[in-house]
Structure 1
Amino acid sequence: MTRTPETPLPSPKECRRLREAQSLSQADVAAVLGVTRATVRSWENGRTTPRGTNRDAYVRLLTGAQKVTPHQEHPAPALVGAATGPVQASPDRAEPAPEPPSETPPASELAPEPDPELGPDPAPGPEPELGSELSPEAEPEPLSPSLTPDQAFDALYAFCAPALVRQTYLLTGRRELARESVECAFQLAWYRWPEVAMDRDPAGWVRATAHEFALSPWHRLRPRHRNPEPPPAAPADRALLDVLLQLPPVYRRTLLLYDGVGLDLPETAAETEASTPAAANRLLHAREAVATRLPELAEPKELHRRLAEVASAERLHAAKPTTVRWGGEQRARHWTRAAIAFTVVLIGATTLTLRTAPDHYEPPLAPGATVHGVPPRVAPGPLSAEQLALRAKLKGETVSGPERLVPEAG
């Protein structure tokens, strides 16, 4: 029996471009095809590919054969937030619909069987939500081309910096280090702004940079980081922060990204530079360690809520974006001046060497050779009686010597 060939599908990058050309969000495509937004994100990331009727409908939608009216589900800032994944690809953890059986299984299914509540929604109620404290969940709109680089950077900073400071505080337990990490990450982003502005996930770029700087092992060599900072005032917050800080850094970061920020498992694995099964194992071990010390946080929903409470309890304020940009420019000027000074010193040393170096070849002196056959010098011994008499006789003669040696006048 001949198998029907599948409909040609563009590359993941081209699929994303076609969707954006029609001003459609991933939520719009997911609503039309009857799948989750995470599924559409996996298609555009290249982790999975649609098959069967979903593939045909997806191709018709991208090529414009099926018209869809775009709509905005949630108003959001003009830039991606601190916790969203790729631009216009925030993780949708609230839709429990399973993946279509005709698709390729996602990479998260390769991991060991995790807790069935690996991706819970925050519990409704008056408690602080991670969407407002650690990870704004609103799907951002594309950047307006009318924004200047300064305005775009300031918008990114204003949207991401408050949440990033809270995240790095949970990672390190240090308030000053949290603020410093976020400022350094944004200063580097401003220094590389053309690259960051064109990135699919500028907020994720800054988040990964801030987390890596905060978890750098070189901080332990700094004098002011050798002593711990005062812990949180509330005993419950202090206990949770102690448990987090006792975890290995990579486990702590995985737990924060998944249960705190709200990334899905493949995105967490990508940001921590690990495979999806490895990220799943780290997450399970981190949850087990937290549940062993704090049994009331065994439920992911409760852990999610408590992370938001601990993060919001500390009033951590980030610097103004203009200050961060100015600091980044000053740092760039200092490094440029240092590079110029080093180059001048190197040129001067090279010139001095060329001026003082010899301009012709001087053969080295041959090493001395040992001469054999010469008798050694003998030291004079005591004079004999005859020699003493002769010496006395010679001293008693005239100054001019013996007579037989004095010439006579003719």
Structure 2
Amino acid sequence: GLDLLKSTKQVSPDTIVVIITAFGNTDSAVEAMKLGAYDYLQKPFQMDEIRLVVKNALEKQELRKDVSVLKEQLKPYSLENIIGSCPSMLELFDMINRTSSSSANVLITGESGTGKELVARAIHNLSQRKDKRFVALNCAAIPEGLLESELFGYMKGAFTGAANNKEGMFELANGGTLFLDEIGEMPVSLQAKILRVIEGGTFLRVGGVKEIKGDVRLVAATHRKLEDLIDEGTFREDLYFRLNVLFVKIPPLRERKDDIPLLVDHFLEKFSGGKMRFSGDAVRMMKNYKWKGNVRELENIVERAVLLCDTEIIDIDYLSDKIRSGPAAEAVSVPQGGIDFEKIMEDTEKAYLIKALEKTNGVMTEAAKLLNLSFRSFRHKLKKFGIDKKKITD
């Protein structure tokens, strides 16, 4: 059987093979799966079980066909790896295209995780500066004392540890684009020097006396309202106007939930090569989640699920607890005296098993599907709780 499996996969790698044997053991099952078998069944087995295996195998075959179709479907809804099809994202694509045709400075706003650097890179890659460097600096990630030397460079001996001359970000980005992320965190004293570069096109290295000319397009980004920082006196109004020549706003993920299936497919392609898919229930659950971390959080969730799941269909078990709990978790309260958590969970699980059997008139394969469980897992749970399907359906 294993020899036939091996030769079959060599001749036709995409053919799905199910091994059925009366003489199998764990070692042969593992070997069969390594050689590419889709499933391995030992006699005797229930007809419901083989029907489910065949059904899932056919779904897998369709899944493979859908991958190329999905890739084609994504093309009209992507721009430089930015994915979206809702009206606000199509407006964003249009704004990126129009912004890239100019050399004016750009201010990008959006919550953390929405993809501000991705948008900045898209603007650069579509502009006439695309053959020059794109240099990125997160103003919030560099200590205040080092930020000036990172931006403008320094001369040998300018401070302790300055053993050699060093180019700064403005020099490295000459002719290209300098992306200043979290511009709202930049110290006011340094903001004046940025303004001087914008207005005069020259700057000094730390410890230097010779002015250096620079041809740099500035793209700045922030998750904060700079107008509020201006009122607080922590951000210069004149710098704000110099940066905000072109304005790009990125919508949060919670305002474009219809894009979640597209984004999920994009990240599945990235992390699994398009070989895995989320179940319908898992996608619906993700669409109902608030996504405070936006696209970055969604990407992390998909990557985690791909790493943990060993099947092609990723079900809700591989989503994080906070996504599975959903909005209902906010309504849950724990009494002062505490609860018997294990009993509550067992009673809830048992109730769902019984309801699923009642709804499907005792057809175990359909009941398992309703609960998004494998047939084996469903059957195991019935045994665990001592549920007799005959008593439920009689």
State the TM-score, normalizing by the size of structure 2.
0.24
Q: Using CA pairs under 8 Å that are at least 6 residues apart, name the structure with larger relative contact order, 1 or 2.
A: 1
Greater Rg over alpha carbons, structure: 1
